[in-house]
Amino acid sequence: MAYAATCTVDGESHGRIATRLALTQSTLSRWIREAGDSDPGFRSVAIVPSEQKAASPLPSTVRLITPHGFILEGLDPELVVSLLQVLG
């Protein structure tokens, strides 16, 4: 995808790039479009009740699951806020 993006910026058509990569133009165009959809931005979220009942109103640690499936566990809430501010 990085190669195709570089060629596109250089002004090449998806058809020429796809031919060089032995792909159909529609496949390459779809991959480029889907890669563009994964750019960071606003995402909808839902807050749902946990299956476990919390002993205290505020948890001492947080479990964060990113849209790409990364799981961060055992973080304190302040660290999660700091990470989200840094990462956007």
Q: Could you list the beta-strand ranges (E) of the chain.
A: 62-65, 71-75
In a domain, 48, yes or no: no
Give the range among 9-13, 22-26, 64-68 with minimum mean pLDDT: 64-68
What does the alpha-carbon distance between residue 64 and residue 60 come to, in Å, rounded to a whole number? 13
In a domain, 66, yes or no: yes
Question: Based on the structure, what is the number of domains in the chain?
Answer: 2
What does the alpha-carbon distance between residue 5 and residue 22 come to, in Å, rounded to a whole number? 16
- Residue 34: pLDDT band (50, 70, 90) is confident
Is residue 40 over pLDDT 80?
Answer: no
In a domain, 43, yes or no: no
Containing 84, the helix (H) or strand (E) segment is: helix 77-87
pTM > 0.75: no
Mean pLDDT estimate for the chain: 78
DSSP-assigned beta bridge partners for residue 13:
none
Q: Is 74 helix (H, G, I), strand (E, B) or coil?
A: strand
Domain hosting 69: range is: 57-88
